[in-house]
């Protein structure tokens, strides 16, 4: 059986690990052992981060809708309640976008559900 030299494969494997650590600080971007450990932590945290991002955006949308509703003379909770009763099916993301970018349209929506 012929001898197999694995230098090329091992180098490719190391490069693949180091490619993911671009932008990491200190030796974690260039040293294989530190990079592997950093990636273990980073990848386990990334799932949680994606879930947190959704949570943070929903809170931001609620704040923006509340600010727009207050300008129109209504509270957030009464606005959402009135929208459900009237059957207006706009989600919080769209309401926040309207409150921020199109205040006139948002005020018409508030007037409709009032």
In this predicted structure, what is the pLDDT of residue 1? 85
Tokens of 109: 């929506």
Identify whether 97 is part of a domain. Answer: yes
Cβ neighbours of residue 85 closer than 8 Å, sequence gap 6 or more: 113
Identify whether 1 is part of a domain. Answer: no
Q: How many residues are present in the chain?
A: 114
Per-residue pLDDT tens over the stretch 19-55: 999 999 999 999 999 999 999 999 999 999 999 999 9
This prediction has a pTM of 0.69
Tokens of 53: 């991002």
Mean pLDDT of the chain: 93
Has residue 6 got a pLDDT over 90? no
How far apart are the C-alpha atoms of 74 and 78, rounded to whole Å? 7
How far apart are the C-alpha atoms of 99 and 105, rounded to whole Å? 8
Asked if residue 23 lies in contact with residue 29, where contact means CB atoms within 8 angstroms, the answer is yes
Per-residue pLDDT band at 4 (split at 50, 70, 90): confident
Cβ neighbours of residue 88 closer than 8 Å, sequence gap 6 or more: 109, 112, 113
Identify whether 3 is part of a domain. Answer: no
CATH number of the domain bearing residue 98: 1.10.1900.20
Tally the domains of the chain. 1
Mean pLDDT of the 12-22 span:
93
Residue-number span of the structural domain to which 108 is assigned: 8-113
């Amino acid at each position: 059986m012929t001898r197999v030299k694995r230098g090329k494969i091992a180098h490719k494997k190391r490069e693949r690990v180091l490619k993911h650590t671009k932008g990491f600080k200190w030796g974690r971007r260039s040293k294989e052992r530190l990079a592997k450990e950093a990636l273990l932590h980073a990848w386990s945290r990334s799932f949680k981060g994606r879930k947190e991002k959704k949570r943070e955006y929903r809170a931001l949308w609620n704040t923006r809708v509340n600010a727009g509703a207050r300008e129109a003379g209504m509270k957030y909770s009464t606005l959402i309640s009135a929208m459900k009763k009237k059957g207006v099916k706009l989600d919080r993301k769209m309401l926040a976008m309207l409150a921020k970018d199109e205040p006139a349209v948002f005020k018409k929506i508030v007037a409709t559900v009032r």
